Structure 1
Amino acid sequence: MPSRFQDKVVVVTGGTSGIGLATAEAFAAEGASVFITGRRQDALDAAVRRIGGRITGVRGDMAKLADIDRLYDAVQQKHAQIDVVFANAGGGAFAPLGAITEEHYQQTFDTNVKGVLFTVQKALPLLRDGAAIVLTGSTTGSSGTPAFSVYSATKAAVRNFARNWILDLKDRRIRVNTISPGVTETPGLNELFGGGDQAAGTRDYLAGLIPAGRVGQPEEIARAVLFLASDEASFVNGVELFADGGQVQI
């Protein structure tokens, strides 16, 4: 495959595991200079070693504006512009209505909504005209999931960021699209489902509900992200691309 991102500068938040790690690897393999973030230094160091090449790890929590500033300071030390931002950092936990705490709400919205907003906004002075932004949404933003309403609401917000930001950024020709994975084999998913046999059983059950007959792999989501970020998607703007094996289409 041609190196679509040769000498491009790419930022991937939440790049130490799962979809973020797979996507950072894919960008690096196609020649990009990649900056990844993570909250834990050990995980960040491991990801940098695994990816290799022109990879820079910046420790930070994207819910904290000072950490976002530190990320872009690190970029500016090496590069004048950014070509792609993949605002991927996020997370959530189950909490049914009636048991939702203010802390649960605040943490989920700070990570998934505030973090995405300011990751993109603070990148604007560095983003070149014609750059690409990809946001991580979720199938839960379009379909109901028991005990997952707060997380689902954050992902619906992220999807609507894309709809509005393409208008704010149209004069700079910056495209904004959303990738919405379905059930994907990641450490985060395993943790969410309780780990071990319980997680495996839940995963097998959900796989039976997906027309493709299986859960997704991080590398499959990464390929969709790279498409949205590439010139191959030059007339794709504001869309939500579901990478979910057909889950939300039925």
Structure 2
Amino acid sequence: MKYAGKKAVVTGGTHGMGRATVEALVANGVEVLLTGRTTEKAEGLEAHAVASDAADLGDIAGLETEVRQRLGEIDLLFVNVGFSTLTPFAQATEADYDRTFDVNTKGAFFAAQRLAPLIRRGGSIVFTTSVATVLGSPGLSVYAGAKAAVRAFARGLAAELAPRDVRVNVVSPGFIDTPSMGVTGVPREVLDEFKEHGDRVTPLRRHGTMDEVANAVLFLAFEATFTTGAELAVDGGLGQGISA
């Protein structure tokens, strides 16, 4: 197995892109600890599963304890957990704003802060952001701002962790074929329209797959050994100035 002996933590690893990444890591010999708000959806995964709310600093502190006890040092922290809704600017509430930033931004920052000391020299952190940070997408302005902050975090952490030879990079997906398409609380007909829109505007004229995102994460984690502070777009050209 290609990465036998490596250890990884994946937040938001019970479904979608996170689950696909867990499966890819395990298939390559990596011992994985994953988190989800519950562990029910982790059934069938050969990984340690921990229930942890990404927005709860107490849970994040508890996650550090779990990682120390179950894995000790790690080689990869994949901060993947995310939350978004298709909420127009005029309808966004304070609760919408707070939940979006608590999960995507505060949770991501403090998970990295807590777990970075456990990363071995030569290891890495990978954050998930979104093509929404470089596009003007109706209904995603709050989410885009939250993920743009994570992109900025990655640059700063890359500088601070470089003396320890820990790399920090970002994977930025576009429209990816997941069950929820990355949004919460959307009626089926709206979700179908959202998916069709993605195929129309993406230069490669299709959605990406969860495995394509997972492959990008593994590349940043283990192969891109002279890359830090970078963003790898997995978006079919959507955010790259390519005409559709």
Tell me the TM-score normalized by structure 1.
Answer: 0.92
Q: Give the SS at the match of 1:24.
A: helix
Matched to 1:112, the amino acid is N
Pairing of 1:91-240 with structure 2 (within 5 A): 91-189=83-181, 192=184, 194-230=186-222, 232-240=223-231
Q: 1:193 to 1:105 in 2, by over 3 A?
A: closer
Alpha carbons 1:193, 1:202 under 8 Å: kept: no
What is the deviation of 1:188?
2.6
Could you list the structure 1 runs, at least 4 aligned residues long, displaced by more than 3 angstroms after superposition: 190-193, 195-198
Residue ranges of structure 2 left out of the alignment (5+ in a row): none
Match for 1:51: what amino acid?
L
Alpha-carbon distance change, 20 to 150 in structure 1, aligned in 2, over 3 angstroms? same
Alpha-carbon displacement from aligned partner over 1:172-194 (angstroms, at most 9, x marks no partner)? 01100000000111123175483
* From 53, 58, 68, the counterpart of 2:50: 58
Give the equivalent residue in structure 1 for 2:4: 6
Within 2, Cα distance between the matches of 1:139 and 1:32? 28
Other structure's SS at 2:24 match: helix
* Consecutive unaligned residues in structure 1, runs of 5 or more: none
Q: State the match for 2:234 in structure 1.
A: 243
Measure the CA separation in 1 of the matches of 2:191 and 2:88: 19
How far off is 1:82 after superposition?
A: 1.0
Moved more, 72-81 or 98-107: 72-81
Q: Deviations over 1:42-71 (max 9, x none)?
A: 22xxx2x3222xx10000101111111222
> What is the identity, as a one-letter code, of the residue corresponding to 1:243?
V
Looking at structure 2, the residues matched to 157 and 134 of structure 1 have their Cα atoms a distance apart, in angstroms, of: 14
Task: Say if 2:54 and 2:60, in contact at 8 Å, map to a contact too.
Answer: yes
1:22-101 matched pairs, under 5 angstroms: 22-43=20-41, 47=42, 49-52=43-46, 55-101=47-93
Task: Give the share of equivalent positions with the same residue, in percent.
Answer: 41
The answer on whether the counterparts of 1:190 and 1:199 sit within 8 Å (CA) in structure 2 is: no
- AA paired with 2:20? A
Residues 72, 203 of structure 1: CA spacing in aligned structure 2 closer, same or farther, 3 A cutoff?
Answer: same
Task: Report deviation, 1:17.
Answer: 0.4
TM-score by length of 2: 0.94
How far apart, CA to CA, are the structure 2 residues paired with 1:81 and 1:154? 29
Q: Say if 1:68 and 1:192 are closer, same or farther in 2 by CA, change over 3 A.
A: closer
Deviations, residues 142-175 of structure 1 (Å, cap 9, x unaligned): 1110121110001111111111111111110110
Q: Secondary structure at 1:103's aligned position in 2?
A: helix
* Matched-pair contact (CA < 8 Å) for 2:10–2:78: yes
Aligned amino acid, residue 235 of structure 2: D
Aligned residues: CA RMSD: 1.5
**1:126-152 per-position Cα deviation (integer Å, ceiling 9, x unaligned):** 111221100000000111101211100
Q: Which amino acid aligns with 2:131?
A: T
One-letter amino acid matched to 1:50:
G
- Classify the secondary structure of the residue corresponding to 2:192: helix
Paired amino acid for 2:44 = R
Q: Shift of the alpha carbon at 1:239?
A: 0.7
8 Å contact 2:5–2:30 — kept in the other structure? yes
2:129 counterpart letter in structure 1: G
How many residues align structurally? 241
Contact preservation (8 Å) 2:37, 2:51: yes
